[in-house]
């Protein structure tokens, strides 16, 4: 059986699109399957300031749109669909989707991760009515109002800084006594007069009538709880890797898929890149590098299958 594609990329984030670019440039017939808009989590970044080659901050949507155009220019194709299953028979992978099945010699999983929820009373009830997981999406609705940011990592600090451009009443809480974000991001938050940073705090409850009106906070060092009026709650406490298509493969303690240095899993020809992969550092530039490596090795794997290899990987 000859598959329809050489390389199928599941997920159109930066890592996935880079894999598609390098695959297409290597003359692989390449397809990207994306259920939303290409770009993934980058679409939610208002100003990306640390990607090499962009001395001025670039909007995440603009960055993603240019990346998609570049990917298509190299010859890769995009298909809007949700991948629902993945199986392998011999050397051929079959990707099951809401738009039918696609076969390929190699597959790159770039399915990313989804935001974790706190699980506190009121969170689900007020989701979309004051509770949000995306500052750039929903922050403008609360301009000049009082907002709570929950979290202490890179995303929490990034989003708090963004919200501080919309109001001078941002309260940021973190359950520990220090941020776990990169120092430059943490220092920026602590120096911002519009952000009231409160360590050793947790969110216990969200209340309101039709929309968020107030929250109940708890001091973890003293056990004290208190109410505070609030117009919006933004939650940034980590992510859940989307590994459903490869649940039988090895994962780390956080549930992220483990690969070798070639981005390849224990299933030959199946690669993992981006936020779903076990890595010490999740950044756009890292995901792009992973995508390039995956596509390069995928091309060599296909040569092996076709009997055209001229050297070992």
DSSP code of 50? Answer: -
Catalytic residue among 137, 187, 221, 260: 137
Evaluate whether 153 touches 236 at the Cβ level (below 8 Å): yes
Tell me, yes or no, if 288 is annotated catalytic: no
Catalytic residue among 47, 65, 91, 134: 134
Tell me, yes or no, if 137 is annotated catalytic: yes
CA 44 to chain centre: 9
* Residues in contact with 48: Cβ distance below 8 Å, sequence separation at least 6, in sequence order: 42, 54, 57, 58, 59, 60, 63, 284
Helix (H) or strand (E) holding 186: helix 183-190
Of the candidates 301, 63, 48, 292, the residue with the CA atom closest to the CA atom of residue 162: 48
Catalytic residue among 47, 65, 138, 196: 138
273, exposed or middle or buried, with CB in 10 Å at 0-12, 13-18, 19+?
Answer: buried
Query: Cα(156)–Cα(216) distance, rounded to whole angstroms?
Result: 19
Query: Cα(228)–Cα(213) distance, rounded to whole angstroms?
Result: 9
Q: Which residues are catalytic?
A: 134, 137-138
């Amino acid at each position: 059986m000859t598959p329809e594609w050489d390389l199928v990329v599941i997920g159109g984030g930066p890592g996935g699109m880079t894999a598609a670019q390098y695959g297409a440039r290597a003359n692989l017939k390449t397809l990207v399957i994306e259920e939303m808009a290409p770009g993934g989590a980058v679409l939610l970044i208002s100003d990306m300031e640390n990607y090499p080659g962009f001395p001025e901050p670039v909007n995440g949507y603009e960055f993603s749109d240019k990346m998609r155009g570049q990917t298509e220019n190299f010859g890769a194709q995009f298909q809007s669909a949700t991948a629902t299953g993945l199986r392998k028979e011999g050397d051929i992978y079959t990707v099951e989707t809401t738009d039918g099945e696609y076969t390929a010699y190699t597959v790159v999983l770039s399915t990313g991760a989804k935001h974790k929820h706190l699980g506190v009373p009121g969170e689900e009830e007020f989701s979309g009515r004051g509770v949000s997981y995306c500052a750039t999406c929903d922050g403008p609705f609360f301009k000049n109002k009082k907002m709570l940011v929950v979290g202490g990592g890179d995303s929490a600090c990034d989003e708090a800084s963004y919200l501080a451009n919309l109001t001078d009443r941002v309260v940021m809480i973190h359950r520990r006594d220090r941020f776990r974000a990169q120092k430059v991001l943490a220092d920026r938050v602590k120096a911002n007069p519009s952000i009231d940073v409160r360590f050793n705090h947790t969110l216990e409850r969200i209340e309101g009538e039709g929309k968020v009106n107030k929250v109940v906070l708890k001091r973890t060092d003293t056990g004290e709880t208190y109410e505070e009026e609030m117009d919006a709650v933004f939650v940034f406490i980590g992510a859940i890797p989307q590994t459903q298509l490869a649940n039988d493969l090895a994962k780390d303690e956080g549930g992220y898929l483990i690969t070798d240095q070639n981005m390849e899993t224990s299933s030959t020809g199946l690669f993992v890149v981006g936020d779903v992969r076990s890595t010490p550092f999740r950044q756009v530039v890292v995901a792009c590098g992973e995508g390039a490596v995956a596509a390069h090795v995928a091309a060599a794997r296909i040569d092996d299958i076709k009997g055209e290899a001229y050297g070992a990987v």
